[in-house]
Amino acid sequence: MPQSNGRRTTRRDIYRKLRQMVLTLELAPGAALSENELAASLGVSRTPVRESLILLAQEGLVQVFPKIGSFVSRVDPAQVADAQFLREAVELASLEDLPERLDTDIVAELRDNLERQRAGGLGLEEFFALDEEFHQGLLRLSGHGNAWTTVAAAKGHLDRARRLGLHGHESPAVFADQHLEIFAAVADGDVPLARARMRGHLRAVFNDIERIRAHAPELFAADPSTVPVRRSVVVWE
């Protein structure tokens, strides 16, 4: 029995690691995947890698082509739009449920988060983590913090598009400013303004997709049924 538990833990850990590598673009959209190479780099056998790739394929983050191989899925704008629809519906609805008296502890956490967002020298992943923490904090403020798990599970393609968008900006300051405007409206009790600013903030990813696709169309899915070619893919230079 202990061996079985250890095996499940290894598979779960490898799945989480590979999923994170896909979401952070360490494994670029369209990149060919080798079970042998991944297993060697992670220090495990091929079995948990193979099982993890199957799970990622079920999420649409990996494509498996018989007799050809496995590839990281290119970012699918249609799936980005679906995830964006879900996220926007949840986050805008949560703003309607804000209590008259806001939780002072959560408000303090959000203020601290905003200060850290505006600190100089933040790396992309550092800012992305603060971004996620900010949005989750707003859900907690409305009493719907548990909804974040559902949102997070559905936005794999969206998160990759967001990271590509961050790569395309000289600084994440524009997004930090948008967060500050959303929070200011929330703190003032102006729900309509908070909703309008949140909607514009969340939909900015669509402009980023069009801008990046013009520069690097190979990162995006044109026809999901197209069989990819094994070649190197560079996310950003």
Query: Which two structure tokens, joined as six digits, stand for 176?
Result: 């930090």
Element holding 33 (H helix, E strand): strand 32-33
> What is the pLDDT at residue 171?
85
Query: In the chain, where are the structural domains located?
Result: 2-74, 77-215
Angle between helices 156-167 and 77-96 (to 10 degrees): 100
Exposed e or buried b per residue across 165-189, where buried means at least 16 C-beta atoms within 10 angstroms of its C-beta: bbeeeeebeebbebbbbbbebbeee
> What is the pLDDT at residue 231?
52
Measured CA to CA, the distance from residue 227 to residue 62 in angstroms comes to: 13
Query: Which two structure tokens, joined as six digits, stand for 62?
Result: 């990996």
Q: Name the CATH superfamily housing domain 77-215.
A: GntR ligand-binding domain-like (1.20.120.530)
What is the amino acid identity at position 96? E
State the CB neighbour count (10 A cutoff) for residue 132. Answer: 15
**Hey, what long-range contacts does 112-116 have (CB within 8 A, 24 or more apart)?**
113/137, 114/176, 114/179, 114/180, 114/183
Per-residue pLDDT tens, the chain, 237 aa: give them: 344 444 555 888 999 999 999 999 999 999 999 999 999 999 999 999 999 999 999 999 999 888 889 999 999 999 999 999 999 999 999 999 999 999 999 999 999 999 999 988 889 999 999 999 999 999 999 999 999 999 998 899 999 999 999 988 878 999 999 999 999 999 999 999 999 999 999 999 999 999 999 989 999 987 655 555 555 544 544
Measured CA to CA, the distance from residue 144 to residue 114 in angstroms comes to: 20
Q: Are strands 69-72 and 62-65 parallel, antiparallel or unpaired?
A: antiparallel
Widest CA span in the chain: 60
Q: Where are the strands (E) in 50-106, listed by range?
A: 62-65, 69-72
Comparing CA positions, the residue from 77, 56, 60 lying closest to residue 12 is: 56
Element holding 10 (H helix, E strand): helix 2-23
Measured CA to CA, the distance from residue 141 to residue 126 in angstroms comes to: 23
**Domain 2-74 is in which class?**
mainly alpha
